């Protein structure tokens, strides 16, 4: 349990910062650091890719890194080896170069590569402004140089009261720089920083505390270094970094920090304002981050999502990394999935109004609980939709909808705690006398409480993550695809095509033909 007392201006702020600088090694020692080289390992978990809704976090990767920073050049480079275990085993070896005005990625760092990365040989791309701002924030959070800046710029520091965690009370200050406020709690025994917090928005949990918790301090490189660094989201550890070596004032070749002029000229500046920091951070946890200034699509490919008609009154929302399906009924609409953010949902709602007039979205059907396919649910619920989920997921989503979301960049805050939620135990039939739509429970290894959609008259199914229709299939079915084939047989349905929460559409026969191979 973490509690924060009321923050007021207090003369103690300067004393806390001064003592922390001294405990870290002293002002002279910090000021004397011109370059630094850091080596370490990091382990990361994703809480909203669990098997069960609200269940145990999945381990996503174990990685190693080597970072060099040249404070005079105001540039850094981190060389990564990321060994992913989820959503599929793979290794990405790449480098990130960060400067005040541009970021650059050398190599492949994701399954969701941008157009620029795909067209570059060897693979490389400029960071989006969203990613650049996020990396800059997180590097500042983890750097002891932040405390030197606080000491020398007391106007940026104010008293933040006390933070209580684990039965211990920590005095705290707020530090505001570049439009971002960090709340730093200090260990009252050692005077060292214990917890560095930002207040973020998470597309599932709503308003969250994102903390860097520092411990296991040891002398390294002429100063004190927290060799264990845990990142906590509302008190749950989602990443743990171990520092294994720190060297100061090592030579750093200038060309290691260079971004090619051809890239720099069109590279995005760091984004500003209320940003989707958690989306950027945690999509990288699983190696699926689309490095674009619009979280939904690659802005170098398109300027918008789009609708594709799959049949009378049936629209597939495509053009981005994640899709939805809109089905028109006599007096209302049904939408399957609310991916990414409320900004994408707002676009879908606007597009639906243009296509279908004043018909409201009466039902939002979620195929499963994972954050990338549900992060835009609040926009639908706010305009009156009933949430439809698989059996066992209602309690999770009641907690989600009860959470405050004042920091949501895309939707005005309101109380959604009393929104109606329907659980599907076996199947849910939506019928208006003219059209029938069905949501079926599907057993699978990817996520419990999962559903697939089906429009019987058009013989059209909708599936997310288990099969991404459109891309070429392998020689055999993987376990998720096999679950789709098994479900179709068990349910006794006869789909001709499936539309996907990823990909596009494909003939179901191409998938079924692989059964038994």
Residue 503, pLDDT score: 98
Write the pLDDT tens digit of every residue in 460-498.
999 999 999 999 999 999 999 999 999 999 999 999 999
Q: Are 152 and 222 in contact (CB under 8 A)?
A: no
Residue range 443-466, pLDDT digits in tens: 999 999 999 999 999 999 999 999
- Angstrom CA distances, 484 to 61, 247, 472, stand at 27, 53, 16
Task: Provide the pLDDT for residue 12.
Answer: 81
In order of their start, the domains of the chain are: 2-285 (2.50.20), 306-512 (3.60.15.10)
Tens digits of residue pLDDT in 378-402: 999 999 999 999 999 999 999 999 9
Q: Name the DSSP class of 221.
A: T
DSSP H or E stretch at residue 333: strand 333-336
pLDDT at residue 1, as a whole number: 44
> Average of pLDDT values for 295-307?
97
Nearest to 53 by CA among 286, 435, 309, 398: 398
On the question of pLDDT at 5 being above 80, the answer is no
Contacts of 77 (CB under 8 A, 6+ apart): 67, 68, 95, 96, 97, 98, 256, 257
Q: In what order do the strands lie in the sheet with 324-328?
A: 306-311, 314-318, 324-328, 333-336, 361-365, 386-390, 421-424
Q: Are 324 and 298 in contact (CB under 8 A)?
A: no
**Would the pTM of this model clear 0.85, i.e. be above it?**
yes
* DSSP run (H or E) holding 29: helix 27-31
Q: How far apart are the first and last CA of the chain?
A: 52
Asked if 359 and 333 count as a contact pair (C-beta separation under 8 A), the reply is yes
pLDDT tier for residue 2 given thresholds of 50, 70 and 90: low
Model confidence at 8, pLDDT cuts 50, 70, 90, reads very low
Extended beta strands in 302-419, E state: 306-311, 314-318, 324-328, 333-336, 361-365, 386-390
Residues 283-295 have a mean pLDDT of: 98
Rounded Cα gap, residues 325 and 365, in angstroms: 10
Q: What is the arrangement of strands in the sheet containing 497-500, beginning at the earlier edge strand?
A: 427-431, 436-441, 451-455, 460-463, 497-500, 505-507
pLDDT at 109 over 80: yes
- For residue 276, give the DSSP letter: -
Rounded to whole angstroms, how far apart are CA atoms 487 and 467? Answer: 12
- 270's CB contacts (< 8 A; 6+ apart) are 100, 101, 129, 132, 133, 136
Contact yes or no for 398/265 (Cβ under 8 A): no
Write the pLDDT tens digit of every residue in 194-215. Answer: 999 999 999 999 999 999 999 9
Nearest residue to 400 (alpha-carbon basis) of 115, 202, 192:
202
Q: Please, what is the angle between helix 12-24 and helix 145-152, to 10°?
A: 140
pLDDT in tens, 157-205: 999 999 998 888 999 999 999 999 999 999 999 999 999 999 999 999 9
Neighbours of 360 (CB within 10 A): 16
Q: What is the mean pLDDT of the chain?
A: 97
CB 386 within 8 A of CB 418: no
Query: Taking residues 290-317, what's their average pLDDT?
Result: 98
Q: What integer pLDDT is reported at residue 23 of this predicted model?
A: 98
Report pLDDT for 517: 87
For residue 10, is pLDDT > 80?
no
Tell me the C-alpha distance between 410 and 390, whole Å: 27
**Residue 166: predicted pLDDT:** 83
User: Of 78, 66, 62, which Cα lies nearest the Cα of 39?
Assistant: 66
User: What are the tens digits of pLDDT across the range 231-275?
Assistant: 999 999 999 999 999 999 999 999 999 999 999 999 999 999 999
Band (pLDDT 50/70/90 cuts) for residue 7 is very low
The sign of the CA dihedral 368, 369, 375, 376 is positive
Cα distances (Å, whole numbers) of residue 44 to 47, 213, 215, 447: 10, 15, 18, 19
pLDDT of 231 reads: 99
């Amino acid at each position: 349990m973490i509690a924060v007392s009321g923050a007021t201006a207090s003369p103690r702020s300067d004393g806390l910062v001064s003592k922390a600088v001294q405990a870290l090694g002293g002002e002279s020692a910090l000021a004397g650091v011109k370059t630094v080289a850091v080596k370490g390992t990091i382990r990361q978990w994703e809480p909203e890719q669990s098997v069960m809704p609200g269940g145990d976090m999945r381990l996503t990767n174990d990685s190693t890194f080597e970072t060099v920073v040249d404070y005079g050049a105001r540039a850094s480079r981190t060389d990564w080896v990321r060994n992913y275990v989820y959503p599929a085993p793979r290794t990405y070896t790449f480098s990130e170069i960060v400067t005040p005005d541009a970021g650059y990625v050398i190599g492949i760092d994701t399954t969701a590569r941008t157009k620029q990365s795909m067209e570059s040989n060897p693979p490389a791309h400029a960071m989006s402004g969203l990613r650049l701002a996020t990396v800059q924030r997180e590097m500042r959070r983890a750097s002891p140089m932040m405390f030197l800046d606080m000491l020398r710029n007391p106007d940026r520091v104010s008293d933040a009261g006390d933070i209580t965690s684990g039965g211990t009370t920590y005095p705290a200050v707020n530090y505001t720089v570049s439009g971002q406020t960090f709340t730093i709690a200090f260990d009252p025994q050692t005077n060292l920083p214990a917890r560095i917090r930002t207040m973020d928005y998470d597309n599932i949990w709503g308003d969250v505390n994102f903390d860097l918790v520092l411990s296991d301090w040891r002398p390294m490189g002429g100063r004190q270094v927290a060799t264990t660094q845990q990142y906590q989201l509302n008190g749950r550890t989602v990443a743990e970094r171990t520092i294994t070596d720190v060297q100061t004032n090592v030579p750093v070749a200038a060309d290691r920090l260079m971004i090619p002029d051809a890239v720099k000229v069109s590279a995005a500046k760091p984004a500003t304002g209320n940003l989707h920091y958690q989306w950027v951070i945690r999509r990288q946890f699983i190696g699926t981050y689309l490095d674009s200034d619009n979280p939904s699509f690659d802005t170098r490919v398109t300027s918008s999502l789009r609708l594709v008609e799959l049949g009378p009154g049936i629209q597939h929302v495509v053009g981005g990394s994640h899709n939805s399906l809109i089905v028109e009924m006599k007096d209302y609409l049904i939408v399957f999935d609310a991916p990414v953010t409320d900004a994408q949902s707002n676009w879908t709602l606007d597009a639906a109004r243009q296509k279908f007039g004043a018909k409201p979205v009466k039902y939002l059907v979620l195929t499963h609980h994972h954050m990338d396919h549900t992060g835009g649910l609040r926009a639908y619920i706010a305009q009156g939709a009933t949430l439809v989920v698989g059996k066992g997921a209602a309690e999770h989503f009641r907690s989600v909808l009860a959470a405050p979301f004042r920091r949501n960049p895309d939707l005005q805050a309101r109380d959604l705690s009393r929104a109606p939620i329907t659980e599907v135990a076996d199947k849910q039939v939506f019928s208006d006398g003219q059209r029938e739509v069905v949501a079926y429970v599907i057993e699978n290894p990817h996520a419990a409480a999962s559903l697939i959609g089906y429009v019987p008259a058009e013989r059209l199914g909708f599936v997310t993550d288990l099969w991404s229709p459109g891309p070429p299939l392998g020689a055999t079915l993987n376990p998720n695809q096999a679950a789709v084939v098994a479900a179709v047989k068990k349910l006794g349905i006869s789909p001709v095509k499936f539309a996907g929460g990823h990909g596009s559409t494909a003939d179901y026969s191409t998938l079924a033909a692989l059964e038994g191979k």
